[in-house]
Structure 1
């Protein structure tokens, strides 16, 4: 994605193997600070395509044409974004804008629809939790952040008009 910090990792992802472009999955880091070092450590066995800081900085670790290792069975069809912070706290305004920027780019480049989804078979802006056990059985990104998806979509529409 142009205009974001490119920080390619050398481990914890699979080249190619994408079966589609359903949309973007919202995750929560449960911590703060860049995930580059953590995602680069082979023993982690986890990664995401993007990361958004609380200040709205965006880092890209994995090409959207490759599989990041973030939501198991959902890795083949979904792009992932980790967000700095904790599940019990909402995204900052800067993070909402950052996620919206990534989504607006994906909508233009990969045809992601401007909608929210709660189904692994749907398309749009989803959450890690929607995949249930097949995606790792997580409650990620938490209720507060999941409820912000309509606000993110509103921002996406604004970005697409400018």
Structure 2
């Protein structure tokens, strides 16, 4: 990220839903190519527009640079103490945005957080463990939409 570019974390507005859905779709495809999604691209877009943005505590990472170019490059969703989603545009991974999202989630839920990630997503495991999350439960995936083995992580201050 250049000195000319900055990334702002802010609450999502209804007008962010399409861009946030595109980030979700691109991130999921890049990070989880072996996981079968139970929803079509259009169903994901509808869900983010109709449920996630209006009914959950949804945050976006927006790029703003001096040239006026910008856009949504990240999405984080909190549902109480559940960090239910954290997705970054693939080309924006490794630039500290995920770290900033997790710090924000911890400030919003200072008594602790929980999250689920797929067992095949080893980079996510390393990321969350680096932020103090501990794996506390492994499942066979029978309880999630994707039917993919997952792991529950907990962070306690």
TM-score, normalization by structure 2 = 0.37
Structure with bigger strand share is 2
Which has the bigger relative contact order, CA under 8 A and spacing at least 6? 1
Larger Rg: 2
